[in-house]
Structure 1
């Protein structure tokens, strides 16, 4: 998502912290437990409504035009010629299991082309309609941006298919009048690197590609002027072999590392050994100790591991947000915006973890090698990844479940049938007493995701003898009905949490939340006083954690002290 910046001057002159941002993890087939290529993405923005987008495949007549609208704002940009045939897309995946995710790193502000007519969101969704492989997608992105002009700031793209995964970084060239009312610098400079099989990569709103090989087209592609343009602009001096894309076009500083690359480090340290050596970099203290572009995991990475890495709050690190008094009396790992605050003339930060409250939608997409290409899976969810749940949407799906529809509610209009609003209801309730409520939510999430991951291999046999059309119709129905089932389950969870945790108390239960959801879920689930009138018994009053109590005493203990 587009970067919004707050100056973080106290930490480092000119440094910035993103107030809205995204996170991508990329897992090659040789690094995954099921030989699938995986890309995760959290679309994070305080203004984005979480919905699932679908475009049907089409055959188009000569002369047909495609209107282009800026994804972030809805602003009309231009019309471009439509191609003869386009592919079906669902979310950030198409029917050929091509996946594209992104994070915005911004980069040098003077390189934004105000006359550009293709924004980064349009590059994603138009390319998904036109390309079938990762390499074809890279060519399509370059052609679109160079033909119509690039309307956004610097971007990192995750681009994957069932065989390979790439990280591509690009930025515009700014504006220079060509004497004819046009832009002499129209287009982009860019580099794309193929992630070695068996490795994982990640990006999170900071440019990640530094030096790169110029003689390995199988594994590295780049704009012919990527180095010469940097020289022309005064961004680089030296030998071509020493050229670093990131250092030229998006130099790192304390803010971009602490607020962005730290999320990459959190993922790497979860799946790979030796990452503690980069802790000082992740915290912004030693920018020379740069993270590698990719790492080899200690063991192969499962889809569920990727799901859970998207739920990270820096647990177990110095940046763990549950450990200081800012977490309140219930260890809440969130800090509301703005990203910085000032006390007695000194500025401090609020951490920006992978899981964040302002997520619109998120996914983990799988391009699979054990099934037809139209059986790739978009594990899709809405709202904060830490307290929401992913459900499988097959990439050939031809219908959006009502609960995920763009037409069902908006950021300014509540809808009782919208998954985005339902998950926000549950999550915002959880923020009040996070330590207890999130634990119940996580039990439900883990069971749902593990059960549906276990069911996936069975679909291969189920559709084995179906025609292409029958398979797609069946998988569409599975995707839609499963999403509907998740919505119903979360509605029941919403009611359960309110009954159990209302008014700061906790009602005692005969069994846990899963029993409630899998059974009738009535009053009999909770402990009553035995008089047959559904009056609760053994009500618990958990109070607050020790750190919070000591902080209150330090702040106002003389007034609150009990005198005996």
Structure 2
């Protein structure tokens, strides 16, 4: 049955949408809210330009302040503190809920890195994406020193390759303990990209258990909150790594009988199969010729795409809401459009999609629609979600100097609506507004609110606003890609002349200017939408 929204009911839903426009405050009541983060990986041989790609959507009420943390040189016998509680702080200097849980020996030299909630890129073109896999509660040991974000930070400060980062993380877990729930981090360098999945050993064991699998050359992979690593071939050191206790812990906890073929996701995951809608949709979109089935018990860990994958392709996947497919949540939200003659007599009528139909309905909106017709909206976890804090798509390119070879295409708020800002590995400073998180309250000085206001307004009549907003997204996407090649040549020239500081200043300035241009345009959209809604849109 199709729902036809007319008259009073359309007005009711419109009013309901306004009430929920800033629905970040009711997200935690949504049963689907805890399902967060999507990471897509592209190997060097699968990308259109030879770059390696990893990525991350930070979906949830996590901090949106971010900084460039400068590399430092330290004296011998110094230590560095390890923290818990930074994921929901309001500024870099907000320590109200932060706890120092221990210290580890400091290295003599650290690298500069982009300090997002889940740190993501350093000056040596080492990049990390993240996605929480949760796993069974029985594996968690809260007394372990390290949470996943601190493991990422230490790895980016100390490592320049993915393999070194995996080995370091393994050593830290073994010595100091893993205190988080199940996590996957997708670690990439200029040559390769790996998927590393980590779990605790249980409350009686301070260490942890982990396995890492490389995305094969010429393949793409995806992690979206479900453990996906299957059989381990530890003799193939080019594609597999694991903690020395990976089999022992599974047997000890009764999660593997030692007889059936060992699969990491079965032993340590907490799900019936190692994929859901996002993994299926992304892999199917990139390799349609495989005719993957959503009803299958297992999907391949990675697939060879039918065509080389560009960074623009990944950007498009991160905007996905399954529009036009059987998983489209707006497909049944329709209205009757009547055509009348000069005398007011109806001469024809068509069923069209309601202007208020959007792929990010709040729980209240879904419940209202399904109260009228239980088949109106079947919830699907889309790739792009309205509760996203920020997301990044990171390219790593070995034919360019590190300063310009690594670039994080970063967006705030909903990746289905917001523009992407290029932040290069050689960047040393970010705009002032990046210092403020907008998740605890409305803050005019927080970058995320520069986009969130227009984005939320646009969803009130998404079928009317979508085309213009996505046109602006495409404009800045093309602008960044086209200007990037020019910027790269300027930076290369400066570096060859030994002018590293001038190169850094150029990169800093470009990020400042690009951010300012997007903020200005989204303010124009916000004002335009308020004007339209004020006049009845």
Q: TM-score, normalised by structure 2?
A: 0.82
Quick one: which of 188, 193, 200 aligns to 1:160? 188
Match of 2:289 in 1: 274
Match of 1:419 among 447, 461, 471: 447
Q: Which residue of 2 aligns with 1:402?
A: 432
1:397-546 paired onto structure 2 within 5 Å: 397-403=427-433, 405-406=434-435, 408-466=436-494, 467=498, 468-505=500-537
Note if contact 2:56-2:391 (Cα within 8 Å) is conserved in structure 1: yes
CA 1:271–1:360 in structure 2 vs 1: closer, same or farther (change >3 Å)?
same
Among candidates 282, 295, 299, match of residue 303 of structure 2:
295
| Residue-by-residue CA offset, 1:447-478 (whole Å, 9 max, x unaligned) | 11012112222223212232233322322222
1:197 is aligned to 217
Alignment of 1:38-187 (within 5 A): 38-45=53-60, 47-70=61-84, 71-73=86-88, 74-76=97-99, 77-90=101-114, 91=116, 92-176=120-204, 185-187=205-207
The alignment status of 1:357 with 2:386, answered yes or no, reads yes
Aligned residue for 2:430, secondary structure, equals coil
User: Equivalent of 1:386, from 412, 416, 420?
Assistant: 416
Mean alpha-carbon deviation: is it higher for 307-316 or for 478-487? 478-487
Query: Which digits, 9 at most, give the CA deviation of each residue in 1:536-560, with x for residues without a partner?
Result: xxxxxxxxxxxxxxxxxxxxxxxxx
Which of 331, 351, 355 is 2:357 aligned to? Answer: 331
Aligned counterparts of 2:211 and 2:238: Cα–Cα separation in 1? 13
Superposition deviation, residue 338 in structure 1: 8.3
Counterparts of 2:129 and 2:35 in 1: how far apart (Å)?
16
Asked if 1 retains the 8 angstrom alpha-carbon contact of 2:438 and 2:446, the reply is no
Structure 1, residues 68-108: CA drift from partner, whole Å, max 9, x if none? 22243553132333221110001410001100111111111
Aligned mates of 1:417, 1:89 — CA distance in 2 = 23
Change beyond 3 A, Cα 1:297–1:502: farther
1:208 to 220, 228, 236: 228
**Number of the residue aligned with 1:305:** 313
| 1:28 to partner: Cα distance | 1.0
Asked whether the equivalents of residues 320 and 382 of structure 2 are also in contact (C-alpha less than 8 Å), the reply is yes
> Cα–Cα, structure 1 residues 309 and 202, in superposed 2: closer, same or farther, change >3 Å?
same
Structure 2 CA distance, aligned partners of 1:123 and 1:484?
32
In the TM superposition, residue 299 of structure 1 has moved relative to its aligned partner by 0.7
Q: Structure 2 vs 1, CA of residues 7 and 18 (structure 1 numbering), >3 Å: closer, same or farther?
A: closer
Secondary structure of 2:45 counterpart: helix
C-alpha distance in 2 between matches for 1:444 and 1:437: 11
User: 2:409, 2:421 within 8 Å by CA — same for their partners in 1?
Assistant: yes
Partner of 1:520: none
Q: Which position in structure 2 is the counterpart of 1:554? A: none
Distance 1:475 1:167, change over 3 A: same
Q: Distance in 1 between the 2:263 and 2:328 partners?
A: 32
Q: CA RMSD in A?
A: 2.6
Q: Distance in 2 between matches of 1:94 and 1:464?
A: 18
Question: Which whole-Å deviations, capped at 9, do the CAs of 1:319-357 have from their partners, x for residues lacking one?
Answer: 21121339965321113248996979x999622111001
Q: How far apart in 2 are the matches of 1:112 and 1:366?
A: 33
SS in 1 for 2:380: coil
CA shift in 2, pair 1:357/1:152, >3 Å: same
Could you tell me how far apart the structure 1 residues matched to 2:451 and 2:36 are? Answer: 20
Whose RCO is larger (CA < 8 A, sep 6+)? Answer: 2
Post-superposition shift, 1:314?
A: 1.9
Q: For the residues of structure 1 that align with 2:145 and 2:491, how far apart are their CA atoms?
A: 42
What SS does structure 1 have at the residue aligned with 2:150?
Answer: helix
CA deviation string 1:171-217 (max 9, x = no partner): 010122xxxxxxxx221111111111111000000000011212111
Contact 2:79 2:105 in 1 (8 A): yes
Measured against aligned partners, the alpha-carbon deviations of 1:414-439 in whole angstroms (never above 9, x if no partner) come to: 33343201211011101100111122
Residue 22 of structure 2 aligns with which residue?
Answer: none
Which TM-score applies when normalising by structure 1? Answer: 0.78
* Aligned 8 A contact 1:339 1:351 in 2: no
